[in-house]
Amino acid sequence: MKFEEIEQIEEQYQVETYAKMNIAVETGRGAWVWTSEGEKYLDLYGGHAVCATGHSHPHVVRAIQEQAEKVLFYSNLVYSEIRAKAAEKLVAIAPESITKAFFCNSGTEANENAMRMARFATGREKIISFTGGFHGRSADSISATFLGKYRDLGKPNVPGHVCAEFGNLDSVRELADDQTAAILLEPIQSMAGVTEAPPEFFKGLREICDAHGIVLIFDEVQTGVGRTGNWFFSGSEFAGGVEADIITLAKSLGSGVPVGACLVNDKVSRNIKTNDLGTTFGGGMLAMAATVATLEAIEKDRMRENIAAVESHLRERLKEVEEVVAVHGKGGLIGIEFADNCKPVHQKLLDRRIITGTSSNPKILRLLPPLSVKKEEIDLLIDALNERGAG
């Protein structure tokens, strides 16, 4: 089908969601996608922060194919070898205090369950989250989302949510008390414009949580699964070694097959009884095969080491781009700050067949490339920003 036809049918039959780019993606390999018109695009947005292993990584594709031949699905009503492997592997790569995994299907669902687990663990209801944070669009997650217009879209909001200022410990101290179940945050606020906080902030949060018996939840839907060069932000040097009680994951975890997860410590899991939590699809065999293969591919291809090296290269090369005033983020979660609104830059790049992301900060262009992206592919971005090379 030609692009115009696909566009017309989608517009006619699909409910409005995001503002779309004017391309229809048909195939993908590594950091590249090909469109219905046979045009090749460099995808530095990684299929919306999802394709950490690159598009259709052969190891992941093979694992999905093999699993599909065996059995597509059975729920947590039965045991499963591939689910056992996925849970064991995730706990093995997680910070030391994490001992168990709960599987679901998306980022918002992981956050909903994390907040519920915190309420089970504490018997309290109040949740502190932050200015600029985004946690998803289901009722509890959107109520914890204080970025822009989102919270209002979820009205009536779930009661018990309060907002502190990201990076400001005093604002957290004012709200934290013995009625607080959880502090929930994106350790790097992606959609806000890749906003960071220093390790001292995370150390302070841990102290506040410990003083009041509050559960600390890191929403690592974007920062998790190798994105920063570490498997997780929790426990890393960026967090000052601080470990969250619950880490929520989605996006990259299944390389594009929908998977969400909460990784939890004993303090959290010991309060959860049979039937307190559940989901039909969470932990299904196809999703678990994708999860195991994703983690294996990241390990086998040394993608965490790669993305750390690519980040250094990118930072160095961005010094050549006059309009860039600052570079934010870690590893493969990068915010390029321009002196002015970067929407025209985003469009110029798209015209030169390079996909990047915007953010809620008009001056910040976001990159969330596959963790396997090559330095030479980053060079194509620099050339395009400087308007060199073939257009």
Give the CA distances from residue 86 to residues 98, 111, 234, in Å, rounded to whole numbers and listed in that order: 14, 20, 19
Backbone phi, then psi, for 267, in 5-degree steps? Answer: -55, -35
| In the complex, least distance from residue 375 CB atom to ligand PLP, rounded to whole angstroms | 26
Closer of 132 and 229 to ligand PLP (Cβ): 132
Given a contact cutoff of 8 angstroms between Cβ atoms, the answer to whether 86 and 291 are in contact is yes
Find the binding residues for ligand PLP in span 223-252 (CB under 6 A). 250
* Interface stretch with ligand PLP, choices 61-69, 102-110, 119-127, 204-212 (CB under 6 A): 102-110
Structure tokens at 285: 């065999």
| In the complex, least distance from residue 170 CB atom to ligand PLP, rounded to whole angstroms | 24
Whether the link from the prior residue into 156 is cis, omega within 30° of 0, is yes
Q: Kindly state whether residue 108 participates in binding ligand PLP, applying the rule CB under 6 A.
A: yes
| In the complex, least distance from residue 235 CB atom to ligand PLP, rounded to whole angstroms | 18
Interface residue with ligand PLP, options 53, 67, 80, 106 (CB under 6 A): 106
Q: Kindly state whether residue 190 participates in binding ligand PLP, applying the rule CB under 6 A.
A: yes
Given a contact cutoff of 8 angstroms between Cβ atoms, the answer to whether 298 and 371 are in contact is yes
Find the binding residues for ligand PLP in span 118-157 (CB under 6 A). 134-136
Closer of 190 and 265 to ligand PLP (Cβ): 190
The residue count for binding ligand PLP (CB under 6 A) is 14
| In the complex, least distance from residue 57 CB atom to ligand PLP, rounded to whole angstroms | 20
CA separation for the pair 329, 193 (Å, rounded): 9
Closer of 64 and 259 to ligand PLP (Cβ): 259
Given a contact cutoff of 8 angstroms between Cβ atoms, the answer to whether 129 and 171 are in contact is no
Q: Kindly state whether residue 186 participates in binding ligand PLP, applying the rule CB under 6 A.
A: yes
CA separation for the pair 95, 130 (Å, rounded): 24
Interface residue with ligand PLP, options 107, 282, 331, 369 (CB under 6 A): 107
| In the complex, least distance from residue 141 CB atom to ligand PLP, rounded to whole angstroms | 7
Q: Kindly state whether residue 221 participates in binding ligand PLP, applying the rule CB under 6 A.
A: yes
Long-range contacts, stretch 357-360, CB < 8 angstroms, 24+ apart: 357/45, 357/48, 357/49, 359/190, 359/191, 359/192, 359/193, 359/194, 359/335, 360/132, 360/147, 360/148, 360/191, 360/192, 360/193
CA separation for the pair 378, 311 (Å, rounded): 9
Q: Which residue is nearest to ligand PLP (CB)?
A: 107
Neighbouring-strand partners of residue 41: 33
Q: Which residues contact 96 (CB under 8 A, 6 or more apart)?
A: 235, 243
| In the complex, least distance from residue 205 CB atom to ligand PLP, rounded to whole angstroms | 17
Q: Kindly state whether residue 222 participates in binding ligand PLP, applying the rule CB under 6 A.
A: yes
Closer of 113 and 265 to ligand PLP (Cβ): 113
| In the complex, least distance from residue 247 CB atom to ligand PLP, rounded to whole angstroms | 12
| In the complex, least distance from residue 221 CB atom to ligand PLP, rounded to whole angstroms | 4
Is the Cα dihedral 104, 110, 116, 119 positive or negative? positive
Place of tokens 């002015």: 340
Closer of 244 and 250 to ligand PLP (Cβ): 250
Closer of 219 and 311 to ligand PLP (Cβ): 219
Q: Kindly state whether residue 112 participates in binding ligand PLP, applying the rule CB under 6 A.
A: no
| In the complex, least distance from residue 139 CB atom to ligand PLP, rounded to whole angstroms | 12
| In the complex, least distance from residue 151 CB atom to ligand PLP, rounded to whole angstroms | 14
* Interface stretch with ligand PLP, choices 39-47, 216-224, 289-297, 306-314 (CB under 6 A): 216-224
Q: Kindly state whether residue 256 participates in binding ligand PLP, applying the rule CB under 6 A.
A: no
Backbone phi, then psi, for 103, in 5-degree steps? Answer: -105, 135
| In the complex, least distance from residue 187 CB atom to ligand PLP, rounded to whole angstroms | 9
Q: Locate the DSSP E strands across the chain.
A: 25-29, 32-35, 40-43, 98-104, 126-130, 161-164, 180-185, 215-219, 246-249, 260-265, 324-330, 333-338, 354-355, 364-367
CA separation for the pair 335, 343 (Å, rounded): 13
* Interface stretch with ligand PLP, choices 24-32, 186-194, 202-210, 329-337 (CB under 6 A): 186-194
Q: Which residues bind ligand PLP (CB under 6 A)?
A: 106-108, 111, 134-136, 186, 190-191, 219, 221-222, 250
